[in-house]
Amino acid sequence: MISEAIRDGVTIYDPERKTCLRTDWSKEGIGYYLSQKHCECDAQTPDCCNDGGELL
């Protein structure tokens, strides 16, 4: 059910983690994806290492 998927999506978001909203361009248009940093690296980006970021 869509409402359950939305509820699950809200629970995986952690407001304490660094968050990044990125654009994704294509011939069809533009999209966005949200990721959060899940590692302890000093880098500021969520894709700083193999364990760094997770898509939400």
Distance CA 45, CA 52 (A): 8
With a threshold of 0.85, does the pTM exceed it? no
What pLDDT is recorded for position 15?
85
Tokens representing 23 are 């654009």
Distance CA 53, CA 20 (A): 9
Model pLDDT for residues 8-40, shown as the tens digit of each residue: 656 677 888 888 888 988 899 999 888 888 888
Asked if residues 53 and 38 have their Cβ atoms less than 8 Å apart, the reply is yes
What pLDDT is recorded for position 18?
86
Tokens representing 3 are 């409402």
Asked if residues 4 and 47 have their Cβ atoms less than 8 Å apart, the reply is no
pLDDT band at 41 (very low <50, low <70, confident <90, very high): confident
Q: Which distant-in-sequence residues (6+ apart) come within 8 Å of 40 by Cβ?
A: none
What pLDDT is recorded for position 33?
85
